[in-house]
Amino acid sequence: MEASNIDHSSKKASVVLKEKVGHVNVASTSHQKGATPATRNASGSPLASDLPTVRPYTAVKHNDKQSESSWWMKVSELLSRCGGGGSGKRGRRKSSLLPGNTQRHLRANDRKFNEQFKYADNFIKTSKYNIITFLPKNLFEQFQRLANFYFLVLMILQLIPWISSIVWYSTAIPLFFVLAFSAAKDAYDDIQRHRSDSQVNNRVSYVVKNGQLVEEKWMNVKVGDVIRMENDQFVAADLLLLSTSEPHGLCYIETAELDGETNLKARQALPETFEMGDKLSLISDFRGEIVCEAPNNRLNQFEGKLSFGSSTLPLDNDKMLLRGCVLRNTRWCYGVVVFAGKDTKLMMNSGKTKFKRTSLDRFLNILIMGIVLFLIAMCLMCTILCGVWEWTTGRHFTIYMDWDRTIVPKADEKSSQQIAIIAFLNFFSYIILLNTVVPISLYVSVEIIRFVHSMWINFDRAMYYKQADIPARARTTTLNEELGQVQYIFSDKTGTLTQNIMAFKKCSINGRSYGDLYGARGEIVEITEATKAIDFSRNKWYEPSFKFYDETLLEDTRKGLHEVTEFWRLLALCHTVMPERKNGKLEYQAQSPDEAALTSAARNFGFVFKSRTANTITIEVNGMEEHYDLLCILDFNNVRKRMSVIVRNASGDITLYCKGADTMIMER
């Protein structure tokens, strides 16, 4: 066994280039993934086990039973060597649904049956108000601000003539303008939500009815309807995939609206339903019954079973298309609605629209509370001094200004009780007189600043993403100052708030290091921007952005050195990259940037990954296409820390390619 190391972006990986097991060739390489796999576990639970996932399409048919048994024994031996566990059973995993009322039961193409369960329709609502609820609800929210509540109480006190020397509208008019300005801004934000909801609810989808495609607005789609999706369309609801235009029932989706990931993910229909294709008569007559979990917010988990005819088939997340996904690289697909509207996983994760208070609002409430306490303290002091003055001096002035007998009925007695009543009433008079201690314009000023800041965000060229033609957009004018209150960022992986730029810099194959430049004396020469990179333009699939400087690797590749060519072949075959054609150019969609960098390096050195299906993969080596049967995929996970594929070439040789963390590969 020969071993060497790959040094890629400061991450080490190992290579085992050749090992003979009978007549089965084993080649493997590894690189440590720099990012968590794009499909995240929404519930946070650990991965189930270290056992490999053998996909339904990995089984290969043989005419001779003995040869099939012999073939599977070899594959099992390879699996055990790769550390994948080992079970010769190739059946589907059974689904275990939770008992009780945690299930949903529906029937495809049968609205009457499904209506008895009163499932939610596909109408969504993210707005907070309507015409009837706007005024009371908005006023309730605004009076949660302490300053607004304070001035409301002050206005009520001014309506009492015995304690007020200021007309009530002197407070009511400014308060009205404060409330009106905030209400207008909240109404503007909510109108935008209503427009967005209307735009989404009125999108058109095509529902299969009586053997025909009928246009339906999204809000009129019901649970159990079978709808047709076109390429680059948003998925209208949470669907069970039935059939697609691609071989083996595959389709590709982009989940950026759900988890922020822009790489494509594959979904596969059941073989039993994929046979319907786009035959509307068969799809319209389909009456499959689905029993599945109740609506929940777990994006990456789904359990259920599909029953039709005499078959009962397990369902998992790989059969589901969630609302908010975009169909890519697939001409069409059909799916049956399982969850609609507020029951979809997207809306379950959105939560209920509620009134949000910012850190500044909470701070202002505390500040206003302190000012009010200071005001009360001043008024108490004035009240005490008023009582003392009334007792010692003020009662002698009643000859000229008598006390109001409606308040002090026994004014002639001039006792301490009457003086206490007068002092108590004067306490509220002092509050009215000193009310300007609390600035009524404070919240208006803050709201104006927020509105202007939101406009600045919308017009900020420094926040414009030129590659995708996406400007920054403030979706609300009430929360923008929260951006300045962030102290800690808890990110699940790199790339969420940062940009991962991985570049293939070095590798070591069969003990020889490639990537460094050496001078005349044998010393390593520093690579700068002025250093001339290798010209890969002879390769029609080369990428102008790819830079590599050590020509010895290119020379050894063109010489056809076995270890070097096997190294590149491994990088071209062992991955989960999805190819995509855009404007005649070949582009790769990868789950991690380091995997994209390795596949891109193989492409520029003449080993071009061109296409894949459920059970085949095609690469181009120096202008000649090579086709491989993809027998098995053992996906990367955090327990195994490696990924493996088993392929069969045109000569019938079966090869296992494995890549992963150096600690997992070197020990093998």
Q: Contact 146/361 with Cβ under 8 angstroms?
A: no
Q: Which tens digit of pLDDT belongs to each residue from 435-469?
A: 888 887 777 788 888 888 888 998 988 888 887 78
Percentage, residues of the chain above pLDDT 70: 79
- Where do we find the tokens 């982009």? 254
Check the annotation: does 390 bind a ligand.
Answer: no
> Who wins on pLDDT, 29 or 554?
554
Q: Is 181 among the annotated ligand-binding positions?
A: no
Average confidence score pLDDT of the chain = 79
CB proximity list for 451: less than 8 A, separation 6 or greater? 185, 477
Q: Is 125 annotated as a binding residue?
A: no
- Give yes or no for a contact between 297 and 42, defined as CB atoms under 8 angstroms apart: yes
Residue pair 660/640 in contact (Cβ under 8 Å)? The answer is yes
Q: How many CB atoms lie within 10 A of CB 660?
A: 25
| Beta-sheet pairing, 24-29 with 654-660 | parallel
- Quote the crossing angle between the two packed helices 169-201 and 146-158, to the nearest 10°: 140
Residues 158 and 170: their CA atoms lie apart, in Å, by 9
Which residues, 6+ apart, have CB-to-CB distance to 413 below 8 Å?
none
Cβ–Cβ contacts within 10 Å for residue 192, how many?
14
Q: Please state the rounded mean pLDDT for residues 362-372.
A: 86
Cβ-count burial of 560 within 10 angstroms (0-12 exposed, 13-18 middle, 19+ buried)? exposed
pLDDT value, residue 178: 85
Note the pLDDT tens digit of each residue in 210-234: 889 999 999 999 999 999 999 989 9
More confident residue, 412 or 583: 583
**Counting runs of H as helices and runs of E as strands, what totals does the chain give?**
16, 27
- Is 659 annotated to bind a ligand? Reply is yes
Q: Is 492 annotated as a binding residue?
A: yes
* 375-394 residue pLDDT tens: 899 999 998 888 888 777 76
316 belongs to the catalytic site: no
- pLDDT tens profile 48-105: 333 333 333 333 333 443 444 454 555 555 444 444 443 333 333 444 444 445 789 9
At residue 650, does pLDDT exceed 50? yes
Pairwise CA distance, residues 556 & 47, whole Å: 41
| Structure letter (DSSP) for residue 408 | -
Average pLDDT over residues 317-326: 93
Q: 493 labelled as ligand-binding?
A: yes
Q: In the Cβ-directed half-sphere of 234, how many Cα atoms lie within 13 Å?
A: 15
**For the chain, which residues make up each domain, given as ranges?**
3-89+500-666
Please give the pLDDT value at position 667.
76
CB contact at 8 A, 251 and 327 = yes
pLDDT value at position 408?
Answer: 61
Contacts of 296-300 with C-beta under 8 Å, sequence gap 24+, read 296/345, 296/348, 297/42, 297/345, 297/348, 297/349, 298/42, 298/43, 298/345, 299/40, 299/42, 299/258, 299/259, 299/345, 299/349, 300/39, 300/40, 300/41, 300/42, 300/43
- Out of 33-42, 199-208, 243-252, 649-658, least confident range: 33-42
User: What does the alpha-carbon distance between residue 465 and residue 617 come to, in Å, rounded to a whole number?
Assistant: 35
Choice among 402, 412, 460, 492 that is catalytic: 492
* pTM as predicted: 0.64
The pLDDT of 595-606, averaged and rounded, is 91
CA 425 from centre of chain: 60
